[in-house]
Amino acid sequence: MTKTSGRTDLLIALVLIVVAIAIPFQIDSRYVLGQIVLALFYACIASQWNLVFGFAGIFSLAPVAIFAVGGYATAMLCFFLGWSVWAALLPAALVAAVFSVLIGLACLRLTGVYVALLTLAVTQVMYLLIVTDTECFVQVGSVCRQLTGGPGGFSRFGDFGTRQLLKGDWMIGNYAIVCTLFVVIMVVTWVILKGPMGHAFRAIRDNPGYAVARGINRFRVQLLVFGLSAFLTGLAGGVYAAHFQVIGPTILQLPQLMFIIAIVVIGGTGTFWGPLVGTLVLMGADELMREVGEFRTLGLGLIIAASIVLLPNGLVGRFRDLMRYAGRNRSAGLKTSKDIQ
């Protein structure tokens, strides 16, 4: 990665931070702020899936499972042990990381579609185990609560305290927390990608044979990316659960996973800003199509299909191609005028 691209990333980040700070002053709709918060959660998961798939080349379909583990661990620590949400977030993220490493130990000996199948199976098994859990673990009033929360999931296990602190403006408080989370996740991801680890990820993705020949341990590097990305995804899951004060098995359903994949594909796999761009496009399109009712899902499907056909490298990839093309033309133009002189 060049110094120029590093400076560009920094410039984009600064602009985004200014926009993020301005948003609560410009938008007083709790709904719009809520949608932005939701978009930030999607961007968090997508950026970590992009790290695993886009940069390290592991076709894992476990991002929502790891996100859910983070959310469930947070909720369970609060619900059963009475912890505060703040205290539960980091241990829950650690639980998600351990969970992911265990999946990694089982599936990283495999490659390609087999990794996808195994991780997808893990997600679906988790969903089925939770929704079919009918045994009463504790009795809360007249409601029976299962160990996993069952099909109803967990709710009312605690929050960030913003409601008590900010009253009617609690959404702004939660927005600030989720924004901070997103910034932390992006900064950590950027540092990973800029460092030797990032180079190792890309080397394994682009030419595993050559990377191994140069002394990179494929299994260990891939396990590392599994653990690192899972810690951040799990942290996001915990914050998600605390924001909505609910975590349930619906998060594990296939449409959620497909939405995350679509975000990364549209934004651009293997690009740092791709997940954010993809999130903005898909969430924006979804919002704009609210009024067309039953055509909304069709519209989203068409956008995804068109992106795959017309933008194989995603929006960020296409933008980068255009910039390169413009740069080449500029150089060619300068050369021609020099020749004439």
Partner 1 sequence: MKRRQLLTGLGAGGLGAAALSALNAGAAHAQTGDPIPIGAALPMSGPSAGDGIEFKNGLDLAAAEINAAGGILGRPVEIHIEDTREMGADLVGQAMQRLIDRYNTPAIVNGYNLGANMVELDVAADNDVIVLHNNTQIAHQERVKSDPERYYGGFQTDPAEYWYGPGCLNFLNELVDAGQWKPANRKIAIVASAVEYSIVIGNAIRDKAAEFGWEVSVYETVPFPTNQWGPVLAKLREDPPAAILVTHFLAQDLAQFMTQFLTQPTPSLIYMQYGPSLPVFREIGGEAINGVIYSTVIGGLPDAFAAKYREDYRANFGDTASWLTGSQTYDALWMYATAAAVAGGPGEPFNGEQARKVAGVLKGMVHRGMSGSFRFDPEGLVAYSYPTETKDPSLGLPHQFLQHQDYRTDPKLIGPQLYADSQFMLPPWLS
Where along the sequence are the contacts to partner 1 (CB under 8 A)?
A: 29-32, 34-35, 38, 128, 131-132, 134, 136, 140-144, 150-153, 155-156, 163, 168, 170, 244-246, 248, 250, 253, 255, 290, 293-294, 296-297
Q: d(Cα 243, Cα 218) in Å, to the nearest integer?
A: 37
Comparing CB distances to partner 1, the nearer of 111 and 250 is 250
* Residue 302 and residue 288 in contact, taking contact as beta carbons nearer than 8 Å: no
Residues 21 and 120: their CA atoms lie apart, in Å, by 38
- Which bin fits 314, alpha (ψ -120 to 50), beta or left (φ > 0)? left
Question: C-beta of 244: minimal distance to partner 1 in Å?
Answer: 6
Q: How far is the CB of 30 from partner 1 (least distance, A)?
A: 6
Closer to partner 1 by Cβ: residue 119 or 162: 162
Q: Pull the structure tokens for residue 182.
A: 């997103």
Q: How far is the CB of 134 from partner 1 (least distance, A)?
A: 5
54, 136, 138, 156, 294 from 142: Cα distances, Å? 48, 11, 10, 15, 39
Nearest distance from residue 40's CB to partner 1, in Å? 13
CB of 48 to partner 1, least distance (A): 19
Which amino acid makes up residue 172? I
Residue 238 to residues 4, 34, 71, 76, 275: CA-CA distances in angstroms? 36, 17, 4, 10, 20
Which is closer to partner 1, CB of 52 or CB of 241?
241
Nearer to partner 1, 109 or 156 (CB): 156
Quick one: 28 or 321, whose CB is closer to partner 1?
A: 28
